């Protein structure tokens, strides 16, 4: 059987692919529990897991602005006090910060439920809208919960609408055709997610961050996110925040060009990534979603329920056992990612914004051989 180095050598021998694409294909084809993953950085250990591989020397502790977020404000967002967080950067990637799960026990459940039950509702926009009439996509949760509550992963059955969901946009809705935002395509941004984002941004030194647009990605175990750059937002000094829940994934962070070898890292449930400045313009991708490492259906951090008594002013809401059963069954074979952005620079108006913006974006590769040019969903899958 060909070892990891042999596989890498075979990939490197193909002159038609750039360095990023070669590593993307390598991890897309990798097998969990093998040496294929030894070069992937695990920030829960701040080392690649297991052993030492490419990128291990790049990890360093990143300072946080502890005084910018009070313990009460962090708790309201379902976060531990900032003084207890660990944050890391990578040499050669200025503006990149990785925060391993800073959530208080149980609070990830709130955000999972919001992504599946609330944020997927109208008037927010989703990939299913182009394939179905508005009445059919108004409440995906309501139409899916019975199928998911009785889900048996070992039996074939029709997929629920939530299982066909691939993306949802919030706030200023991203236009996948012309790759822009516009003032007339807007719905109110969820206040709980805005508050969470503001606290995380402030802790990372970005006071005054305004959550104006969000893209939620819903991954199956065979889903990928294609190589792309996020440049639709004009002010790249403002961070892009990324929150992960559910099954783990491999994230690749590359350079300004695709011929630069990317660094691979795990994103586990509850992990947060912050990209600003230089790192906002770097190629990145998700080549692989991985089933839970310890063999159980869900990461242990999701097994803990929300506390019965939530703190005063908490943005989190109780999650019933019935609702969590639907969420948990969904996450057995899925991952949810929330990305939050500030669209407009301070003092900028939309007329100025619309004359200056340009973008390049990509999305899920549900077909293992063909890269999608834009987010799409096969209604029969």
pTM of the predicted protein model: 0.87
Across 32-55, b (16+ Cβ under 10 Å) vs e yields eeeebbebbbbbeeeebbeeebbb
228 carries a ligand binding annotation: yes
* pLDDT score of 119: 97
How far CA 281 is from CA of 96, 124, 199, 235, 277, in Å, comes to: 11, 27, 24, 11, 8
Measured from the Cβ of residue 108, the count of other Cβ atoms closer than 10 Å reads: 24
Residue 229 in any domain: the answer is yes
Q: What is the three-class DSSP state of 130? A: helix
Cα 115 to Cα 77, 84, 192, 199, 287: the distances in Å are 16, 26, 12, 19, 22
Residue 67 lies in a domain: yes
Note whether residue 174 is domain-resident.
Answer: yes
For the chain, 381 residues long, give each residue's pLDDT as a single digit of tens: 345 445 554 555 556 688 999 999 999 998 776 667 888 999 988 544 444 445 555 899 999 999 999 999 999 999 999 999 999 999 999 999 999 999 999 999 999 999 999 999 999 999 999 989 888 899 999 999 988 988 776 567 788 999 999 999 999 998 888 888 888 899 999 999 999 999 999 999 999 999 999 999 999 999 999 998 888 787 788 999 999 999 999 999 999 999 999 999 999 999 999 999 899 999 999 999 998 877 678 999 999 999 988 988 999 999 999 999 999 999 999 999 999 999 988 878 776 665 554 433 444 444 343 333 333 333 333
Angle at alpha carbon of residue 115, lines to 40 and 109, rounded to 5°: 75
Whole-angstrom Cα distance, residue 82 to residue 164?
Answer: 36
Q: CATH number, domain at 145?
A: 2.60.120.590
Q: How many CA atoms lie within 13 A of 152 on its CB side?
A: 4
Neighbours of 353 (CB within 10 A): 20
Please indicate, yes or no, if residue 358 is contained in any of the structural domains: no
- Domain-embedded: residue 357: no
Q: 208's torsion region: left (phi>0), alpha (psi -120 to 50) or beta?
A: left
Cβ(244)–Cβ(223) below 8 Å: no
Largest pairwise CA distance in the chain? 60
**Is 230 assigned a ligand-binding role in the annotation?**
yes
Is the residue at 25 inside a domain?
no
- Residue 57 among known ligand-binding residues: no
The answer to whether the CB of 112 falls within 8 A of the CB of 245 is yes
**Domain that residue 313 falls in:** 39-341
Please list, in sequence order, all residues whose beta carbon lies within 8 angstroms of the beta carbon of residue 311, skipping any fewer than 6 positions away. 72, 75, 76
Assigned domain for 308 exists: yes
Q: Please state the domain count of the chain.
A: 1
CA distance linking residue 284 with residue 230, whole number of Å? 9
Structural domain includes residue 55: yes
């Amino acid at each position: 059987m060909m070892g990891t180095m042999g596989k890498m050598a075979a990939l490197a021998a193909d002159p038609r692919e750039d360095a990023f694409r070669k590593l993307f294909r390598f991890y897309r084809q990798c097998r969990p529990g093998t040496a294929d993953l030894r070069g992937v950085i695990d920030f829960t250990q701040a080392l690649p897991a297991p052993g030492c591989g490419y990128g291990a020397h790049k990890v360093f502790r990143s300072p946080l602005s502890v005084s910018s977020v009070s313990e009460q404000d962090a708790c309201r967002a379902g976060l531990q006090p900032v003084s207890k967080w660990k944050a890391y950067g990578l040499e050669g990637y200025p503006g990149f910060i990785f925060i391993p799960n800073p959530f208080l026990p149980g609070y990830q459940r709130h955000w999972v439920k919001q992504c599946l039950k609330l944020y997927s509702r109208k008037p927010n926009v989703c990939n299913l809208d182009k394939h179905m009439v508005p009445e059919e996509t108004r409440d995906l949760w309501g139409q899916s919960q019975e199928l998911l509550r009785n889900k048996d992963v070992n039996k074939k059955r029709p997929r629920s609408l939530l299982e066909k969901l691939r993306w949802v946009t919030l706030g200023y809705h991203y236009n996948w055709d012309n790759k822009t935002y516009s003032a007339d395509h807007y719905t109110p941004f969820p206040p709980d997610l805005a508050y969470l984002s503001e606290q995380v941004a402030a802790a990372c030194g970005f006071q005054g961050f305004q959550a104006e647009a969000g893209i939620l990605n819903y991954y199956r175990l065979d889903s990928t996110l294609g190589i792309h750059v996020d440049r639709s937002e004009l002010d790249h000094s403002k961070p892009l925040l990324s929150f992960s829940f559910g099954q783990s994934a491999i994230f690749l962070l590359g350079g300004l060009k695709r011929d630069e070898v990317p660094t691979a890292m795990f994103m586990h449930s509850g992990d947060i990534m912050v990209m600003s400045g230089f790192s906002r313009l770097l190629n990145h991708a998700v080549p692989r979603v991985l089933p839970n490492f310890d063999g159980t259906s869900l990461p242990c951090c999701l097994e803990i329920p929300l506390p019965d008594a939530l703190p005063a002013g908490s943005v989190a809401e109780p999650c019933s056992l019935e609702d969590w059963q639907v969420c948990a069954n969904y996450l057995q074979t899925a991952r949810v990612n929330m990305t939050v952005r500030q669209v407009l620079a301070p003092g900028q108006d939309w007329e100025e914004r619309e004359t200056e913006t340009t973008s390049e974006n990509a999305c899920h590769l549900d077909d293992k051989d063909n890269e999608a040019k834009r987010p799409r969903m096969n209604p029969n899958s």
